[in-house]
Amino acid sequence: MAVLEEMQQAVEGVAGASGASVVAIGERPRGSGVVIGKGRVLTNAHNLRGEEVHVSFDDGRTETGQVAGADPDGDLAVISVETGGAPAVEFAGSPPKLGSPVFGMARGRDLRVTLGFVSALGRSFRGPRGRRIQGSVEHTAPLARGSSGGPLVDEAGRLVGINTNRLGDGFYLSIAADDSLRERIDALGRGEGPSRTYLGVGIAPSHVARRLRRSVGLPERDGLLVRAVEEGSPADRAGIQKGDLIVSASGSAVSTVDDLYEALDAVSKGDSFELGIVRGAEERKVGVSAGEAKSEV
């Protein structure tokens, strides 16, 4: 019984320390968030539905805020909203250790707090638009629907992560609340979203490309199949067409979407770079002038 009482006291302590900082996101809450400063709330970008955001607080208030800045690739957003007396969550200042206890917090109609343990560090997963998010914290604190964007905290109620992804089988991923996150939050709060190079194409993975090329009698090649080209995009201006196979970027072979993202991230907006494509059975080089990131690769 002593262990159960200690667990209960730990949950109560965390709720008392940080519960007032946890908010619900959406008119009918679809996610959670956390107060990070006066007039500022942090949540996942995938919780947003437009520029206006309904935010519900611990004291029963619901306020309408505006998106100050969002990073859909990194699945983060800062909301500008009247936070009233809701305190800002305290950052832990150091990463959690493997096996350390952590608490998942979320708000729907009421506050929810769950207990788990850090099961892995430095994990990666794909964000809503396909880019890989590195350095996340894997844990076992159960998260119900509506928990994404809520804080992961230590036993003192200090922020160690932003809950984002459910792995299944009782494991969850949280964006680590490290110095990098602080910098990104500050930039988003100023309305400065990250600038990433984009092509303006929708792509299919290599195994799909190989299967489709085989089905029409073309030789198999590793690469990414272009399934759509955004009108007026850098890819469109360079003459890339639906059905082209991207096989290299800036001289490096491309066989996965991560290969392409890595090549694009090394290019500054406005600079030119070269793509190797295969159109039918013909291989060619295409010069592309980089654009700033939008909704697709």
> What residues are paired with 175 via a beta bridge?
162
- CA distances to 60, 128, 155, 293 from 89, in Å: 18, 26, 13, 31
| 10-residue mean pLDDT series, the chain (297 residues) | 84 93 94 97 95 96 96 94 96 92 95 96 84 91 93 97 88 93 94 80 83 80 89 91 91 88 79 88 86 46
Q: What is the predicted pLDDT for the residue at 156?
A: 95
Q: What pLDDT is attached to residue 296?
A: 44
Q: Which tokens go with 117?
A: 């343990």
Specify the pLDDT at position 34: 98
Whole-structure pTM value: 0.81
| Among the listed residues 33, 44, 34, 30, the one whose alpha carbon sits nearest the alpha carbon of residue 77 | 44
Cβ contact 47:25 at 8 Å: yes
Residue 291: per-residue pLDDT: 56
